Amino acid sequence: MKIYLQYPFSYSDSPYYKNLIKDLPSEIEFVNVEKQKGVIVNKKKFKFSDNLKRIIKYFLNNLFLPIPNAYFTKSKKTFDLIHCAHCLSLNKKFPWVTDIEFESQMWGGARDNKLRKKIAGKFLRAKNCKKILPWMEWTKEKILKDFPEVSEKMEVVYPAIPLPTVKRKEHKNLNLVFSGRYFYAKGGLHALEVIDRLTKKHENVYAVFNSFVPEEILAKYSENKKIKFCELIPQEELFEIYSTSDIFVYPGYSDSFGFGFLEAMSFGIPIVTVDNIGRKEIVTEKTGFVIDVENFSNFKAEVMDEETIGKIEEKVDELIVNDKLRKVMSEEGITMIRDGRFSIKERNKKLERIYSEALK
């Protein structure tokens, strides 16, 4: 079975597609993925391409004309089915499926929600649109609220990652870790304040902070020598850090899914985060703590919110002093990646059936 993986851009940095390409079901072949990398391999190039995408998306989202995020797939290679990577298909000859992280990925432009949803609905109702694959139940509910007529096409397929090849290493101290490309949006300000307090409170607690930290913030916290700062680094280096990390301190305010959670679980690192889009589908009481924040829609990640910081600090501190709880959460996280909803085998079992049914 030959599948054409249609990207909305020529390059996608989502681990979803990297892991989809790398660990396919045995009967399936993607025909156009030779150049797909899917991870940060060069910080300068990544910064440029990432900023360019953000500028393009900003202008698209502020246009008045509705623009469906749809593409015509054309290739010299033969294929049986199109898998649209969080986009829609203009092809009418071939059957297609689409995976969706969040609903607005289906369009760009148009301030009028009714108009852009009307256009997106035509694609979803099309006969050759065989399946819509939301990443979470949260996403599914959002799509069905606007497009209830496509309920029979909907099936949640959770993203999956493999267990890491880098093994956990023995270490004396207890290590906290934060990793996120957008400092404020990912909750870096609050995480850093918590990390600063707890590394000063506990003699054996250290931390690694992986992000583009604003200079004025870095100047304030760099006096704490128990915190190691580094800008975003290649995945191989990050995984070496995870191999000696014990608690993932990551509010993740802007995340719609957040692969950092899965990566932390794959290393058996308990998580402390804040409730947001589908967060409790990813992090359960068995793998970490999800903190509720009142009036989240009005929440400002750039402002020191003592109430939220205090809640995060309390749960991280609880994990620091409770070795047994950390161990239980660590083991459950690994199980979720090896055998659970975020495992390669569970994802592949679903995809193999979905692709086969789409070709009938």
pLDDT of residue 42: 46
pLDDT confidence of residue 50:
57
Residue 305 pLDDT level (bands cut at 50, 70, 90): confident
Q: How confident is the model at residue 39 (pLDDT cuts 50, 70, 90)?
A: very low
Q: Edge-to-edge, what's the strand order for the sheet holding 205-210?
A: 227-230, 205-210, 174-179, 247-249, 271-274, 288-291
| The pLDDT of residue 22 is above 50 | yes
Indicate the average pLDDT of the chain.
89
pLDDT of the residue at 297: 63
Exposure of 84 in the CB half-sphere (CA atoms within 13 A):
31
Q: Domain spans of the chain?
A: 2-160+344-358, 174-338
User: Which range (19-23, 219-223, 248-252, 283-287) has the least confidence?
Assistant: 19-23
Quick one: which of 194, 183, 187 has its CA closest to 310? 194
Q: List, for residues 252-283, the tens digit of each pLDDT value.
A: 998 888 899 999 999 999 999 999 889 999 99
Section 75-89 average pLDDT: 93
Give the per-residue pLDDT at 272: 98
Give the mean model confidence (pLDDT) for residues 131-149.
95
116-to-35, 105, 151, 202, 265 alpha-carbon distances in Å:
32, 11, 19, 53, 37
DSSP assignment of 21-33 equals: HHT--TT-EESS-
Domains 2-160+344-358 and 174-338 share a fold: yes
Looking at residues 39-57, what average pLDDT do you find?
A: 55
Mind listing the pLDDT tens digit for each residue in 327-345? 999 999 999 999 999 999 9
Fold for the domain defined by 2-160+344-358: Rossmann fold (3.40.50)
- For 111, half-sphere exposure in the C-beta direction (CA atoms, 13 angstrom radius) is 3
Q: What is the pLDDT of residues 204-220, one digit of tens each?
A: 999 999 999 999 999 99
Query: CA 360 to CA 95: how far, in whole Å?
Result: 10
Task: Look at 325 and 236; give whichever has higher pLDDT.
Answer: 325
Q: What is the mean pLDDT of residues 186-201?
A: 97
Res. 302 pLDDT band, cuts 50 70 90? confident
pLDDT for residue 114: 77
Burial code (b: 16+ CB inside 10 Å, e: under 16) for 303-337 equals: eebeebbebbbebbbebbeeeeebeebbebbbebb
pLDDT of residue 347: 96
CATH fold for domain 174-338: Rossmann fold (3.40.50)
pTM beyond 0.85: the answer is yes
Res 26: pLDDT: 84
Whether residue 248 is predicted with pLDDT greater than 90 in this model: the reply is yes
Mean pLDDT of 227-234: 91
Question: 36 pLDDT exceeds 80?
Answer: no
At residue 17, the pLDDT reads 86
Percent pLDDT > 90 in the chain is 68
Residue 59: per-residue pLDDT: 63
pLDDT tens, residue by residue, 307-328: 999 999 999 999 999 999 999 9
Residue type, 38: G
3-state class (DSSP) for residue 76: coil
